Amino acid sequence: MVYKNYINGRWSSALSEETFVKRNPANKEERIGEFPLSGTRDVNLACQAAKEALPKWRALPIPVRGEIMKRFGDLLTEHKEDLAIIETKEMGKVLKETRGDVQEGIDTAYYAFGEARRFFGHTVPSELPDKLCLTFRRPIGVAGLISPWNFPVAIPCWKLVPALLSGNTVVFKPSREAPLSATRVIELLVEAGIPGGVVNLVHGSGTTVGEAILSHPDIGVVSFTGSVETGSRIAEVCGKTLKRVSLELGGKNGQIVLSDANLDLALEGVLWGAFGTTGQRCTATSRLILEEKIYDKFFAMLVDRAEKITIGNGLNEKMQMGPLVSEKQLAKVKEYVKIGKNEGARLVIGGEQYTEGECAKGYFFAPTIFADVTPEMRIAKEEIFGPVLSVIKVKDLNEAIKVINNVSYGLSSSIYTQDINKALKARERIEAGITYINGPTIGAECHLPFGGVKNTGNGHREGGWTVYEIFTEIQTVYIDYSGKLQKAQIDTKMG
């Protein structure tokens, strides 16, 4: 089937008439669809439509915009299973995970419905008599949203919903690896009541559509989730015109297991964190940091369970792990396995493409575990984005924290211990935006801030109440009803 862009309330082909084909990573012979390979002219049309729609949309009362988000949440709920199946076919992860992905979009929409009546400003006392001081949140204008493929419903909702509720209009570029999920999200937003021009969907590559969004003068804020390299480029381009920029980038997340931990619980956590979504999460557990007292026992437990993970097409409910998203990602994971071996790490299980039965048609990779990993190895420091786990032995909590902080990223972290004092000390010293105690490094909830420190981002937080700071400007208002000129900082000082 041939799909289109959505610009100014109409579905249309790219002006160039060029297209690209998206295939199922579990079976590269299966076509998901044909999508527009758009260019700068398409982005220009989308920006113009968004600019023209802005005055009417931002004038709509926020609770009314919230009602549209509520209807959007209802539609996501109604179509949850259909969307989950599309996601699984498009990017590979198993159905139980794609259902969770859609649910996160539902939760985000409903949370926004509530936030529409809690769009708080501040009322504070003035230093002068007969004077009021207030603040309001106002939309920035046209928002450029660029989303990845690994959460093709949740992350677009993380960006679209707060941007729209705040009163901005949108130009949205999804990943070329997840174009159909994005198309369905926009279709449901339109069905929910979003007026023409308020949301504009432009398919295409980052080097054309993405770059055009960054440099367009009518875009006031850009929100991006993806790699550090691309994020640095976005910050560089947007910095020239002082655009607001929110960057949610990579991670090299570690799970610490201390000797007093519930080992069965910690095992479930690392299996889910490392191999859920085939390791293709920015919050995936890619380092396991074990206290030496339980190292041998826990490592044996881990290998035994990892070898039993069922691999196959995510539409099969019996499967626990699906394919990597693309041939390019498969090649990257293979290269990192080679790097790990060359560095002297010991490959214990996996390390190769999985080609059993029908999996030979897709980009499957076996769960991979390296032992004898040292903190300075590349496989312990660089983001791989695949089912590859590096296991590191440490003497105690102090060394564990030193190791977990020994990367350029700082997104998510985890510690398993039954000692509350150790848990709280770790929370204080770990350099990460997210810390789980007795839970895996994955599992964010929509009503809490999401993001990291160091090279993981530029300080903004998606999710919860903090995401609205990305898409709004603060207006401070002074109301003087004294009937005379009052001079702040001057008339307040007597004698």
Residues annotated as catalytic are 248, 282
Q: Which tokens hold the place of 359?
A: 């999996």
Query: Any residues with CB less than 8 A from the CB of 398 and at least 6 apart, and which?
Result: none
Query: Any residues with CB less than 8 A from the CB of 48 and at least 6 apart, and which?
Result: 8, 218
Query: Any residues with CB less than 8 A from the CB of 350 and at least 6 apart, and which?
Result: 306, 337, 365, 366, 367, 368, 369, 387, 388
Alpha helices in 225-326 (DSSP H): 228-239, 263-275, 295-306
Residue 14 CA to residue 412 CA, distance in Å, equals 39
3-state secondary structure of 435: strand
Q: Dmax of the chain from CA atoms?
A: 89
24 DSSP β-pair partners: 27
Residue 80 CA to residue 62 CA, distance in Å, equals 26
CA Rg value for the chain: 24
Helices vs strands, H then E, count in the chain: 14, 21
3-state secondary structure of 450: strand
Query: Any residues with CB less than 8 A from the CB of 267 and at least 6 apart, and which?
Result: 298, 301, 302, 305
State which amino acid sits at residue 69.
M
Residue 183 CA to residue 36 CA, distance in Å, equals 11
Q: Do 199 and 169 form a contact (C-beta atoms < 8 A)?
A: yes
Residue 133 CA to residue 67 CA, distance in Å, equals 30
Q: Which tokens hold the place of 161?
A: 């919903």
Query: Any residues with CB less than 8 A from the CB of 169 and at least 6 apart, and which?
Result: 50, 51, 53, 54, 57, 141, 142, 143, 197, 198, 199, 200
Q: b/e map of 270-306 (b: 16 or more CB within 10 Å)?
A: bbbbbbbbbbbbbbbbbbbbbbeebbeebbebbbeeb
Q: Do 441 and 284 form a contact (C-beta atoms < 8 A)?
A: yes
